[in-house]
Amino acid sequence: MPKSKKLFEHAKRVIPSGVNSPVRHFEPYPFFVKRSNGSHIWDVDGKKFIDLCNGYGALLLGHRRREIISAVSKQLNIGTLYCTPTEQEVELSDMIKGNFPSIDMVRLVNSGGEATMTAIRLARGFTGKRKIVKFEGCYHGAHDSVLVKAGSGSAHHGISVSKGGLDAVSKQTLVAKYNDFKDIEDVLAKSDDIACVIVEPVMANMGLITPEKNFLKHLRKITKQHNVLLIFDEVVTGFRVSPGGAQEHFGVQPDITTLAKALGNGFAIAAVGGKKHIMEQLAPGGMVYQASTFAGNPISVCAALASVKTMNRLKTKLYPKLEKYSTILSNGIGDIATDYGIAHSVNSFSSMLQIFFSAKPVTNYDTCMNADTKKFKKLFSGLIRNGVFIAPSQFEVVFLSNAIQRDDLGIILDSYSAALREVKD
Reply yes or no on whether 319 is catalytic: no
Active site includes 139? yes
Q: How far apart are CA 305 and CA 70, in angstroms?
A: 12
Of 144, 50, 43, 53, nearest to 397 by C-alpha is 53
CB-based contact 383:50 (threshold 8 Å): no
Q: What CA–CA distance (Å, rounded) separates 100 from 119?
A: 16
| C-beta of residue 264 within 8 angstroms of C-beta of residue 80 | no
Q: Distance (Å, rounded) from C-alpha 166 to C-alpha 174?
A: 15
Q: E strand or H helix at 296, and its extent?
A: none
- Longest pairwise C-alpha distance within the chain: 63
Choose, from 43, 131, 134, 139, the residue flagged as catalytic. 139
Q: What SS3 state is found at 33?
A: strand
Q: Is 325 among the catalytic positions?
A: no
Instruction: Determine which one of 177, 261, 375, 378 is catalytic.
Output: 261
Q: State how far the Cα of 26 lies from the Cα of 39, in Å rounded to an integer.
A: 22
Set 233, 319, 378, 408: catalytic member = 233
- Cα dist from 406 to 323, 326, 354, whole Å: 13, 11, 19
User: What backbone phi and psi angles, to 5 degrees, belong to 272?
Assistant: -120, 130
Strands 256-259, 48-51: pairing is unpaired
Active site residues: 139, 233, 261
